[in-house]
Amino acid sequence: MLKPEEARRPLTVSELALEIRRQLRPLTAVLVKGEVSGMKKSARGHYSFSIRDAASRVDAFIFADDVRRLPMVPEDGQEFIFRGRVDFWAQIGALRLIVEYLEFDEAGRLRARLEELKRRLEAEGAFELSRKRRLPFLPGTVALLTSPTGAVIHDLQETILDRFPNIGIAVYPVQVQGVAAPASVASALRRCNRDGDAEVAVIARGGGSFEELYAFNTEVVARAILASRIPVVTALGHTSDRTLADMVADLECRTPTEAGARVVPRKSELLARLAERERRLQLVLPSLLGRRRDRLERGRAELLRLSPAHQLARRREGLGERGQRLQAAAERWLRRRRQELAGRTVEERLSRRLQERLRAAASGLDQRTRRLAALSPEARMAAGYSIVSDTETGRILRSAAETARGRRLRVRLASGRLGARVEEVEA
């Protein structure tokens, strides 16, 4: 306090300002609750505004260096609890609260704005399950959007590489808290899509309060996730509140460890499944080959039995047996006639008649042989006919109704064979 004798001496303006600042020293660490009004940003990044309640108002100021440490930049109409110091700016003769940190007053107004944004996104169908993309079964590269320091990035990398050691990991460092966090996350996700290296992106942080997670409740982050070409997984830590990022993401996980396990399968399990499928396939293949071999042998035997050459050989064999029987009968008849007839003339006449009969029989046999040859399958095929059989069953087709469109056929010609497929059936 000024001494009475000093008060009688006029003070310079600077002395008065110095005394005012000295008197304000007890107010170097105060908490002030109020509503933001008249927010302005200078070219150097400083913010000036007023804090007011129903009856009073006080000017406030945030230096650019302090802005980066705040969870967000206050906006007009929002209510906060401000922490800072009261200072007197002698150059302009004004008292101001120099804000060093702030937090929401029960987050009421912020939550109201968040609910309004949720309603708009829901009306657009942003939360529909039908628009969510499926994660790739085995991505070649996983993009991690998180702080480059701390336990989160370590947990994600350790989980992914433990499950699949040779998988690719692309790290996109982002700010996960503070004023610059929303733009940082959105920009990194857009860059990840442009790079085209990763097939799935994980946005992660280690949890936090409603205010600390506010960046993931902003429209800019939600729009970036919705516009992403690759699937997006969120892992924002244990929290009772689902963020907008969780709601629009293609998959929501509670922890970074869970996210790593969901986006990458375990390599050892995949190898075990492949080995089991190979074993089962080997069992099926011998059985299938055995059945096909048996069917092929049956078809070959049936084809041999029904072949024109085999049929002609059987008929020739029958004609030979008949010729032999006829020759034997003729010889027996000749012996009997020789015994019955006496005299050389009769014998010569009988011999001539026998020769005539033999020539007639031989001529008849020759005619029958030529007729049989003319009726043989080879002769028919030489005239342009063919023998058609079903490839799978080996059965010879005698009617178009015995096959169907798409069936494979084998066609035997007078010279060679053809493989064919039925394109049209006219029964």
Phi, psi (degrees; rounded to nearest 5) at 275: -65, -40
Side by side, which strands form the sheet with 200-204? 168-173, 141-146, 200-204, 232-235, 251-253
Q: Six-digit token pair at 184?
A: 């940082």
Domain 111-265: give its CATH code: 3.40.50.2300
Task: Report the pLDDT value the prediction gives residue 423, as an integer from 0 to 100.
Answer: 87
Architecture of domain 4-105: Beta Barrel (2.40)
| Residues 93-96: contacts with CB under 8 Å, at least 24 apart | 93/17, 94/59, 95/24, 95/58, 95/59, 96/58, 96/59, 96/60, 96/61
Task: Report the pLDDT value the prediction gives residue 229, as an integer from 0 to 100.
Answer: 96
Task: Report the pLDDT value the prediction gives residue 143, as an integer from 0 to 100.
Answer: 96
| Residues 87-93: contacts with CB under 8 Å, at least 24 apart | 87/21, 87/24, 88/17, 88/20, 88/21, 88/24, 90/13, 90/14, 90/17, 90/18, 90/21, 93/17
How many Å apart are CA 149 and CA 15, to the nearest integer? 49
* Longest Cα–Cα distance in the chain: 197
Helices (H), 307-376: 308-340, 344-375
Task: Report the pLDDT value the prediction gives residue 238, as an integer from 0 to 100.
Answer: 64
3-state helix, strand, coil in the chain (%, to 5): 50, 20, 30
Q: Which residues contact 147 (CB under 8 A, 6 or more apart)?
A: 153, 173, 174, 175, 176, 205
| C-beta of residue 145 within 8 angstroms of C-beta of residue 192 | yes
Phi, psi (degrees; rounded to nearest 5) at 241: -100, 130
Q: CA nearest 186: which of 203, 169, 198, 200?
A: 203
Quick one: residue 321, left, alpha or beta (phi over 0 = left, psi -120 to 50 = alpha)? alpha
Q: Six-digit token pair at 263?
A: 């986006």
CB-CB neighbours of 171 under 10 Å: 15
Task: Report the pLDDT value the prediction gives residue 23, as an integer from 0 to 100.
Answer: 74
Which CA distances in Å does 162 have to 136, 157, 158? Answer: 19, 8, 6
CB-CB neighbours of 130 under 10 Å: 5
Beta bridge partners of 141: 168
Q: Name the stretches of the chain with pLDDT < 50.
A: none
How many Å apart are CA 176 and CA 189, to the nearest integer? 13
Beta bridge partners of 49: 60
Q: Six-digit token pair at 157?
A: 């990398």
Task: Report the pLDDT value the prediction gives residue 169, as an integer from 0 to 100.
Answer: 95
Q: Where are the domains of the chain?
A: 4-105, 111-265, 269-304, 368-427
Determine if the pTM surpasses 0.75: no
How many Å apart are CA 163 and CA 125, to the nearest integer? 35
Which CA distances in Å does 74 have to 96, 349, 354? Answer: 17, 144, 136
Angle subtended at Cα 260 by Cα 143 and Cα 236, rounded to the nearest 5 degrees: 80
CB-CB neighbours of 82 under 10 Å: 23
Beta strand extents in 137-208 (DSSP E only): 141-146, 168-173, 200-204
